[in-house]
């Protein structure tokens, strides 16, 4: 079974407090007759305290249509992607030339050729490196991308592969949209990148002594029927307009929790056997609903809450940030079971069972 050999994270250089961003948005929306006190309360309720964004906040006032923000996406995604991959390779003895598959995930910008092709052309990857760009999976893409990489390596156990996920949610801002969903989203989402190096179980890096690596034991994809309206984007002339339903927390409490229990049961495990949770923080209500549905105590998903507080919901990258924190700040003892999970448009979930 494949092993997660290394992780790395990256952020754009523009960092602001939630208060600063919220004040700017309140001023913007006051012209549309929006109650600014209500906006302030909505943003406070997200529990987000600070966020990174793609460009200086003053530049967002001049963004119009879809072309301008998408051009910024292409530039910053390449720059931050290259920086994050260099961080990843600096942690191992491998370089780009040793990678046989590069998977790139995003939902917040479009580029053709995709960003992974640009990185292959400008970094010393082998010209026959396989590519797997993933678009449109939303918040689930980090876990889904890692699962698909692991699936690939089961069939190519001597190889190494990389997942790079980048999200620039700030560039999807719809300044004219004063729906509750957009008011909340503009106080919730941030920008970031995450990268993961995975090796097959016959690769020389597998089972290295003194370097505990989690093993990808199993993966599962779940599609919940009749739930397309829960979350996603509507493509407008002005860009991507958020779709975010109040049904998501309840779906996390019931159907998702049941699927998690079923997945673990298929491996003779229970929720109590999981020692490390790598859970995408959709928002405070989603975290609370998962804890309630799974019977977890109020501190089990603290890493998810911490990522949400410090950088916001960074869509597909969130789970990779939490994985990075577990790998570097809190590596568990050998034999510990872990579970990665995320939800996304569909309404879908992806689950990965790990063991250190």
Burial class for 223, CB neighbours closer than 10 Å (0-12, 13-18, 19+):
exposed
In three-state form (DSSP H/G/I as H, E/B as E, the rest C), the secondary structure along the chain is CCEEEEEEEECCCEEEEHHHHHHHHHHHHHCCCCCHHHHHHHHHHCCCCEEEECCCHHHHHHCCCCHHHHHHHHHHHHHHHHHHHHHHHHCCCCCHHHCCEEEEEECCCCCCCCHHHHHHHHCCCCCCCEEEEEECCHHHHHHHHHHHHHHHHHHCCCCEEEEEEEEEHHHHCCCCCCCHHHHHHHHHECEEEEEEEEECCCCCCCCCCCCCCCEEEEEEEEECCCCCCCEEEEEECCEEEEEECCCHHHHHHHHHHHHHHHHHHCCCCCHHHEEEEEECCCCHHHHHHHHHHHCCCCCCCHHHHHHHHHHCECHHHHHHHHHHHHHHHCCCCCCCEEEEEEEECCCEEEEEEEEC
Could you tell me the sign of the dihedral formed by the alpha carbons of 264, 266, 267, 270, in that order?
A: positive
Residue burial 4-23, b: 16+ Cβ < 10 Å; e: rest: bbbbbbbbbebebebeebbe
For 338, the token pair is 């872990």
Nearest in space to 164 (alpha carbons), one of 188, 189, 129: 129
Catalytic residue check, 169:
no
The one catalytic residue in 139, 169, 186, 279 is 139
For 141, the token pair is 């893409």
8 Å CB contact between 148 and 132: yes
Question: Active-site positions?
Answer: 139
């Amino acid at each position: 079974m494949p092993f997660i050999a290394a992780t790395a994270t990256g952020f754009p250089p523009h960092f602001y407090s939630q208060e600063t961003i919220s004040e700017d948005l309140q001023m913007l929306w006051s012209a549309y007759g929006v109650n600014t006190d209500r906006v302030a309360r909505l943003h406070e309720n997200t529990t987000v305290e600070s966020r990174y964004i793609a460009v200086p906040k003053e530049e967002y006032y001049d963004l119009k249509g879809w072309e301008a923000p998408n051009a910024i996406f292409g530039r910053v995604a390449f720059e931050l992607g290259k920086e994050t991959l260099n961080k990843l390779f600096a942690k191992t003895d491998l370089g780009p030339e040793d990678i046989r598959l590069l998977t790139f995930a995003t939902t917040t910008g479009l580029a053709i050729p995709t960003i992974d092709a640009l990185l292959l052309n400008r970094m010393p990857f082998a010209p026959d490196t396989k590519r797997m760009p993933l678009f449109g999976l939303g918040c689930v893409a980090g876990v889904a991308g890692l699962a698909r990489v692991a699936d690939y390596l089961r069939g190519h156990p001597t190889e190494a592969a990389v997942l790079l996920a980048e999200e620039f949610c700030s560039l999807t801002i719809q300044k004219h949209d004063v729906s509750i969903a957009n008011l909340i989203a503009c106080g919730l989402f941030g920008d970031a990148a995450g990268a993961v190096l995975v090796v097959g179980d016959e690769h020389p890096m597998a089972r290295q002594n003194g370097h505990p690596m989690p093993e990808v034991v199993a993966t599962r994809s779940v599609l919940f029927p009749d739930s397309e309206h829960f979350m996603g984007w509507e493509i407008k002339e002005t860009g991507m307009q958020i779709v975010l339903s109040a049904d998501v927390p309840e779906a996390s409490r019931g159907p998702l929790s049941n699927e998690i229990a079923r997945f673990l049961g298929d491996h003779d495990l229970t929720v109590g056997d999981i020692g490390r949770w790598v859970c995408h923080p959709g928002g405070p209500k989603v975290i609370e609903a998962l804890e309630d549905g799974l019977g977890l105590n109020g501190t089990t998903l603290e890493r998810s809450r911490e990522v949400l507080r410090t950088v916001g919901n960074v869509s597909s990258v969130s789970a990779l940030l939490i994985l990075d924190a577990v790998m570097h700040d809190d590596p568990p003892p050998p034999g510990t079971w872990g579970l990665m999970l995320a939800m996304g448009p569909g309404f879908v979930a992806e689950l990965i069972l790990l063991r250190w």
